[in-house]
Amino acid sequence: MNTYDFSAIEAKWQKHWEEHRTFRALGPGDDGFDPKKPKKYVLDMFPYPSGKGLHVGHPVGYIGTDIVSRYARMRGYNVLHPMGFDAFGLPAEQYAIETGTHPRVSTEANVANMLRQLKACALSYDWDREVRTIDPEYYKWTQWIFLQLFHSWFDPSVEKARPIAELVARLEKDDVRLDGGEVVSKSDDRFASLRAWSEFSTAEHHAALGRFRLAYIDDVPVNWCPALGTVLANEEVTNEGRSERGNHPVYRRPLKQWMLRITAYAERLLQDLNDVDWSEALKLMQRNWIGRSEGARVRFPVVGADREVEVYTTRPDTLFGATYMVLAPEHPWVDELTSADRKADVDAYRKTAAHRSELDRQADTKEKTGVFTGGYATNPVNGKQIPIWIADYVLMGYGTGAIMAVPCHDTRDFEFAQKFGLPIVPVVVPTDEWLLEQVATGAAPEGVGSSAGAGGGAGAGPDALRAAYLESPTSFQVAFTGHGKGIHSKNDEVSLDGKETPEAKRTIVAWLEGKGIGRGEVQFKLRDWLFSRQRFWGEPFPILHGPDGEIRAVDERDLPVVLPEIEDYKPIPNDDPEQPPQPSLSRAKDSWKFVELDGKKYVRELNTMPQWAGSCWYYLRYLDPRNDDVFVSPEAEQYWMSPNGVDLYVGGAEHAVLHLLYARFWHKVLFDLGHVSTKEPFGRLYNQGYIQAYSYQDARGIYVDAEKIEEKDGKFFYEGEPVTRSLGKMGKSLKNSVTPDDVMEQYGCDTFRLYEMYLGPLDQSKTWNTQAIVGIQRFLQRLWRNFVDEESGALRVVDETPDEEMLKLLHKTIHGATDDMDGFRFNTTIAKLIELNNAWVGRPSLPRVVADAMVRMLAPLAPHVAEELWQRLGNESSVSRADWPVAEEQYLVDDEIEIVVQVLGKKRGTVRVAAGASQEEIQSAAMEVDTVKPHLEGKTVRKVIYVPGKLLNIVAN
């Protein structure tokens, strides 16, 4: 092989790596494992095996982590770099429904295709550790982890999960009793009035423990689509309350669903973000999703009933301004609170609200709707009776499903009160800044203040505006929602008047707690995780349902509960929205559905787990993927995960919230139960940028083939007709998708890898341009010619020492490339290698010391050609196991340095001086530079500013 034949080279070395298991990671228990060697766990977010396969945008993160992994091996690390497939999910099931192909058949075909593509990219994964979430050997342990959740509860006294058997033991000894969802000790005054555990029936035992388990069944409001026979996510429901797929009616209704009590971990999930090396932007996204707030829980007695409506508010200082209450239409007390004359209106409204999605109900632009129930509650701070309404802008899943409405100081309440003519009472004095802002935006009333004049409020002063607001808040077009001093907020026992908001909050909470009608409380927007689906293609639950309502866990010895074969995967539709759903697994054979245990007939749980389940813990299974006895051995877990979890986790920012939050939650439960050794799963998280591409649309708005676009004078044409160009994502539907298969067939894998990295920094988005890839290919061709004589095939490398100048270039390249690789700046690493290679183009030979270092530095980036050249240099082992080159300090110091010369801050030239030159010597030389002299003629130098080794600025006039 004389010329650079990438096809032959790449096929040769990919075969070599696979046959020799070159990238196998040795862990505890493996022959040859060295426990003293530092480890590095580098992980990609594993992909869903789509039928479309990969386009060139997908591998950018995989190539980045591969470079990190190869570089780390050369720096002496024992590297774990695994890959697998997140293979359960709706797309495969939909494909099965449409084509009759079993989801496993289509999924495994997709996996095989994607596996081929990944291997073609020369990604140094340890394929011996591959996992697939659809394999029973894998989801056995997903089911096992679910059972750990089912068998555990969160003990707030120690802020951690504990086996629920411990709680039962304490209840049986009567050391504690239960008050709803709270454990009460003997020292609590309530203890004597509560029932002992021995007084509970079996059914009550099950129900009581369900209020504590981390995995439990509950009636929760969901988006139920009877025509599709399944629950839909909010994102799958249109603003018109219909299914995105099929345009079927969707209803909000309570259904029994499996839930995971992630809210118990909200505080820890929030606080432990301080311990991980993630971007602040990503941490903020998680913090906002968790949504911590401090406020108060307050009880409002219902007039004429032995009931109290409980609300949570972040602004208890505004209690005196609560002029009505609003319940969510799904609130369980609506029927009881509704008077006979209002029942028809309330029922009609609830039926309409059931068709609206949560996103639609929360939209700020939506006109407020609601109806009066006919019921009243008493405001506990002033004794006033206030009407109780229902409205769809209040959601049952947030807070308590009821709010106290303070229309003067809440935007939605203000709009609602204005529409329905409800009282609006100011209880917080607006600030000067806010009042003047309303003038500027036109929200303040016209003619306010002595200086306003006939033209309106433009010249009004804050005092006049404030008086106008307090007299008539509705004369302003918006509510004041900020902090300020209290007003109109006192009773015979407490006054908030004149107190700033923080102090007013503390004062009213203390008063509420003293009166026993409320308490300070921290709440979170985070809601418990709805964990069940009425679909087929997911992990079966290891749960049995008994005839008396008993919920029984499958014995761990009987795991996995294998997904059964069924002939029809379609969800079972039903025209009646009130009928219970029939999951796909209800079609399974009776021999699978029913289980006889202890003389009882149990039915299996027929829902399946969501796609998130398998991805919550896969990073742990990679550590010990063939262990049949435990999900991971303690030795493997402690070695690979210490001290802070996965050392580098790379994936898209679109997973910033749900996947990462769910995985952190499961990990913390496993940590509490002693199964893992770190508090957090992912010590460092890095989001790669995206590769974008231009797409083109014709006059009809239809996308046309990007490969057939012609450009003329800055305009774009398709088959002679003008088209519009836009930059965005890449995809088949946009007709701008480019597959790595096509690129690598034409240019080679090494060229493809280098080009993807050369486009720009790894964490930034960049634009794909197939035409530009040829420049990188030419670099590899020139590199080859520097090493190999293309006529004879002989190696052009010689055992001679380079001159001083070339040694300096070499070691500066090593130094700079090392720094760039440490900082994931692979684009600038490549630029330095191109510069070094160009310095040898046209020379008769290449010194071995340069050739050796160049190949080592190239190895993580373009591994095939590096392996080939490494072998030709006479090495028998893989370059992937060679040491990264080390720069010698003596060659990093320049004899001369170049100084930029400025006059009055503008660059006028440069001057080269000895590295040790003094400022006076540099100034003298600078003033003799031909391009500087004209700017100093006839002027007196007033000042000279010198930045050592970089810049000299002469101030002259």
Is a pLDDT exceeding 80 seen at residue 571? no
Listed as own residue / partner, the contacts of 238-245 with beta carbons closer than 8 Å and 24 or more positions apart are 238/357, 239/357, 239/359, 239/360, 239/363, 241/355, 241/356, 241/357, 241/360
Question: What is the edge-to-edge ordering of all strands in the sheet holding 292-301?
Answer: 308-313, 292-301, 518-524
For residue 364, name the pLDDT band (cuts at 50, 70, 90): low
**What is the pairing mode between strands 39-44 and 529-530?**
unpaired
pLDDT value at residue 184: 96
**What is the pairing mode between strands 896-903 and 951-956?**
parallel
Give the pLDDT mean for 497-506. Answer: 98
Give the pLDDT mean for 560-569. Answer: 92
Is a pLDDT exceeding 80 seen at residue 34? yes
For residue 235, name the pLDDT band (cuts at 50, 70, 90): low
Gap between the Cα atoms of 637 and 649, Å rounded: 16
- Least confidently predicted of 204-208, 366-370, 425-429: 366-370
pLDDT value at residue 730: 86
CA-CA distances (angstroms) from residue 415 to 350, 367, 420, 424, 482? 20, 8, 9, 10, 17
Do residues 753 and 780 lie in contact, with contact meaning Cβ atoms separated by under 8 Å?
A: no
Which two three-digit tokens encode residue 690?
A: 């995206």
Is a pLDDT exceeding 80 seen at residue 917? yes
First to last CA, the chain: 68
- Is the model's pTM score more than 0.75? yes
Which two three-digit tokens encode residue 751?
A: 């060229």
Is a pLDDT exceeding 90 seen at residue 893? no
Mention every residue, 6+ apart, whose C-beta is less than 8 A from residue 737. 55, 693, 730, 731
Gap between the Cα atoms of 227 and 224, Å rounded: 9
Listed as own residue / partner, the contacts of 698-704 with beta carbons closer than 8 Å and 24 or more positions apart are 698/723, 703/733, 703/734, 703/735, 703/736, 704/735
DSSP code per residue over 381-406: TT--EEEEEE-TTS-TTSTTSEEEE-
pLDDT value at residue 452: 41
pLDDT value at residue 431: 96
Helices 826-838, 774-787: axis angle to 10 degrees equals 50
Of residues 528 and 356, more confidently modeled: 528
- Per-residue DSSP letter, 242: B
Residue indicated by tokens 């505890």: 28
Residue indicated by tokens 């080269």: 912
State pLDDT tens for residues 71-92.
999 999 999 999 999 999 888 8
Give the pLDDT mean for 791-819. Answer: 95
Do residues 930 and 936 lie in contact, with contact meaning Cβ atoms separated by under 8 Å?
A: no
- Least confidently predicted of 139-143, 339-343, 434-438, 460-464: 460-464
Is a pLDDT exceeding 70 seen at residue 365? no
State pLDDT tens for residues 125-175.
999 999 999 999 999 999 999 999 999 999 999 999 999 999 999 999 999
Q: To the nearest whole number, what is the mean pLDDT of the chain?
A: 93
High-pLDDT (> 90) share of the chain, %: 82
Return the percent helix, strand and coil in the chain, to nearest 5. Answer: 40, 20, 40
Give the pLDDT mean for 204-213. Answer: 95
Do residues 418 and 445 lie in contact, with contact meaning Cβ atoms separated by under 8 Å?
A: no
For residue 549, name the pLDDT band (cuts at 50, 70, 90): confident
Four-CA torsion 330, 331, 337, 339, nearest 10 degrees:
-10
CA angle 703, 705, 709 (to 5 degrees): 110
Is a pLDDT exceeding 90 seen at residue 360? no
Residue indicated by tokens 């918006």: 478
Give the pLDDT mean for 315-341. Answer: 96
pLDDT value at residue 457: 44
pLDDT value at residue 665: 98
Widest distance between CA atoms in the chain: 110
Gap between the Cα atoms of 669 and 541, Å rounded: 18
Of 70, 79, 81, 68, the residue nearest 39 (C-alpha): 79
Q: Which residues pair with 646 in a beta bridge?
A: 682
Give the pLDDT mean for 424-431. Answer: 97
Gap between the Cα atoms of 9 and 751, Å rounded: 13
- Least confidently predicted of 600-604, 635-639, 896-900: 896-900
Residue indicated by tokens 């935006």: 441
Is a pLDDT exceeding 90 seen at residue 93? no
Is a pLDDT exceeding 50 seen at residue 193? yes
Of 259, 262, 217, 261, the residue nearest 531 (C-alpha): 259
Is a pLDDT exceeding 60 seen at residue 459? no
For residue 460, name the pLDDT band (cuts at 50, 70, 90): low
Is a pLDDT exceeding 70 seen at residue 458? no
Residue indicated by tokens 């993807």: 756
pLDDT value at residue 448: 72
Q: What is the 3-class SS of 509-576, one letter each residue?
A: HHHHHHHCCEEEEEEECCCCEECCECCCCCCECCEEECCCCCEEECCHHHCCCCCCCCCCCCCCCCCC
Phi, psi of 559 (to 5 degrees): -80, 150
Do residues 588 and 536 lie in contact, with contact meaning Cβ atoms separated by under 8 Å?
A: no
Of residues 496 and 579, more confidently modeled: 496
pLDDT value at residue 103: 92
Range 118-148 burial, b when 16+ CB lie within 10 A, else e? bbbbbbbbbbebbbbbbbeebbbbbbbbbbb
Is a pLDDT exceeding 50 seen at residue 451? no
pLDDT value at residue 567: 86
Is a pLDDT exceeding 80 seen at residue 579? no
Of 811, 813, 819, 803, the residue nearest 887 (C-alpha): 811
Q: Which residues pair with 723 in a beta bridge?
A: 716
Give the CA count within 13 Å in the CB-facing half-sphere of 272: 19
Is a pLDDT exceeding 90 seen at residue 50? no
Strands (E), 198-239: 215-225, 230-232
- Least confidently predicted of 145-154, 397-406, 747-756: 397-406
pLDDT value at residue 450: 42
Of 249, 188, 255, 195, the residue nearest 221 (C-alpha): 255
Do residues 802 and 847 lie in contact, with contact meaning Cβ atoms separated by under 8 Å?
A: yes
Of 875, 782, 861, 874, the residue nearest 826 (C-alpha): 861
Peptide bond connecting 560 to the previous residue in cis, omega within 30 degrees of 0 = yes
Gap between the Cα atoms of 438 and 83, Å rounded: 56
pLDDT value at residue 157: 94
State pLDDT tens for residues 736-747.
889 999 999 999
High-pLDDT (> 70) share of the chain, %: 98
Of residues 611 and 628, more confidently modeled: 628
Q: Which residues pair with 717 in a beta bridge?
A: 710, 722
Give the CA count within 13 Å in the CB-facing half-sphere of 723: 23
* Chain centre distance of CA 225: 28
Gap between the Cα atoms of 321 and 29, Å rounded: 68
pLDDT value at residue 548: 83
For residue 754, name the pLDDT band (cuts at 50, 70, 90): very high
Ligand-binding annotation for 832, yes or no, is: no
